[in-house]
Amino acid sequence: MTTDPVAGATALWRTLTSDVDFFGAEGKPMPGDAALDQAMREGALLLPHVYQDAYIGPVQRATPRLLALARAGRIRMGSVEIVTGGIAQHAPGWPMTDELRRFVAVISNLFRSFLDSARRKAADMPALAEILPPLAAFQHDGNDGPITIAADLIQAYLGGSVGVVALPATFAAHPILWTALAHETGGHDVTHADPGLLDQLIDALPATLAPLEADCCLPPGTLVRLWSHWMDEAAADIYALMNAGPAFVENTAVLLAAMGGGSTPGLRAESRVAAASLLDPHPTDILRLHLGLGAIDTLQGYSGRATARGRITALLDSFCRADHITLAGALPDGPQRLLPLSAEVPREAMGRAAEAVGRLIATARLPALAGKSIQDIETWEDDDERQVDAIRDALAAGRSIAGLGDDAQLLAAASSAVVDDAASYARVTAALNLALDHSFHTDPVWGYEEPDRMYVRYTS
């Protein structure tokens, strides 16, 4: 890897900001009622049969009601596009079908790494009831950025049992950006699959943060309320790191800087209102990197911890020079009450708090996990890093990387390769696309088995 992560990340930032309209429109908008119904019927035929009762049927039955609610302003039309797009965008003739197949393959691989029954049995954890990987959609209007509608919401509102992950259509041709999917799929969809997990992490916050509260210069109890509000997103980041390694944190830093705009790469040192007066549910951009640092410190099977910490710290120092973090919004305080928050807090102390939360999420032994930590199921180790190095060697030599690692390792290798050499972006993307095509065809959910032949003919 490059000895100058800042120079590499900056070069990649330039490539992304010139090539990707992160919040722009692309692809095909959601069609009108009759055409949407037809596309869903056609798309349903190409989805694995196991999704029929878990997603296809509930969504098809609910679509008229969803459209009526959206037209009445009760729900967002963008949410209807995502939910129906999980089926309709598989229809023949829909644009970006190759990209969609790669997309669902990555989602399936990342999701199963945490919830696979065999892995849980090996970790002496009870297996969950069979849970299918989320479906996927590309948003014509990318204003929302990457987004997940998790299975628990689908269950509550539609009666299905499968979530759906969406990316702006402008991301479709840039699978290196899909490293962020480790947050959406290996994060949100997984943490929501283990009942009680997030609540148990929140319950552990007071003891974790008590020694840091005074240094953060917030009123008593506010630091815990703040990280309780951020826990869903924070846990998704840490689970993503366990899946894709420190490359996830570096990729996230570049992606956040690129999505933030500006003439130079920068990470925000402020969190403001996101919706309905509530503070942004994501930890402040720079704190997301500190979260990662805390979790990396716990990776006992990974000997590159110090190197990874140095690289991420260098990005923090270069991409944000603020001494304070601005917080302006409201925090939930009980089921109905909101606590107004307007403060400037010291960055250094808040960074230490974020690292403490990162260590907590990575190591907490939770009843939801049968007294184990998440690293008993999935973690990043030297074997993963060696696999990434082998994939990077193949990329450098121009060889195929199909089948050289799981999708998380492929994404980590591609991401680190383009940070090392932004000029290789197009070549690495092409190789990654072919590898993800292979992943789709061999995926246990999406792939189709070849019939057994008595005799195989060889051709010259």
The 3-class SS string of 326-345 reads EEEEEEECCCCCEEEEEEEE
Q: Quote the CA–CA distance of 301 and 304 in Å, as a whole number.
A: 9
Domain coordinates in residue numbering, the chain? 1-20+174-460, 21-172
pLDDT score for 362: 97
Q: Quote the CA–CA distance of 364 and 156 in Å, as a whole number.
A: 28
pLDDT score for 150: 83
Please give the backbone phi and psi of residue 327, each rounded to the nearest 5 degrees, phi first. -120, 125
**Low pLDDT (below 50) residues in the chain:** none
pLDDT score for 143: 87
Contact 35, 93 (CB under 8 A): no
CA 245, 375, 292 angle in degrees (round to 5)?
40
179 DSSP 8-state letter: G
pLDDT score for 460: 67
164-168 and 135-139 strand pairing: parallel
Q: Quote the CA–CA distance of 105 and 359 in Å, as a whole number.
A: 30
Single pTM value for the model: 0.91
**In sequence order, which residues have a C-beta less than 8 Å from that of residue 1 and are 6 or more positions away?**
311, 416, 419, 420
Let me know if 324 is exposed, middle or buried by CB neighbors in 10 A (0-12, 13-18, 19+): middle
DSSP secondary structure string for all residues of 361-411: HHH--BGGGTTB-GGGT----HHHHHHHHHHHHHHHHT---TTSS-HHHHH
Q: Which tokens sit at 452?
A: 């057994």
pLDDT score for 284: 97
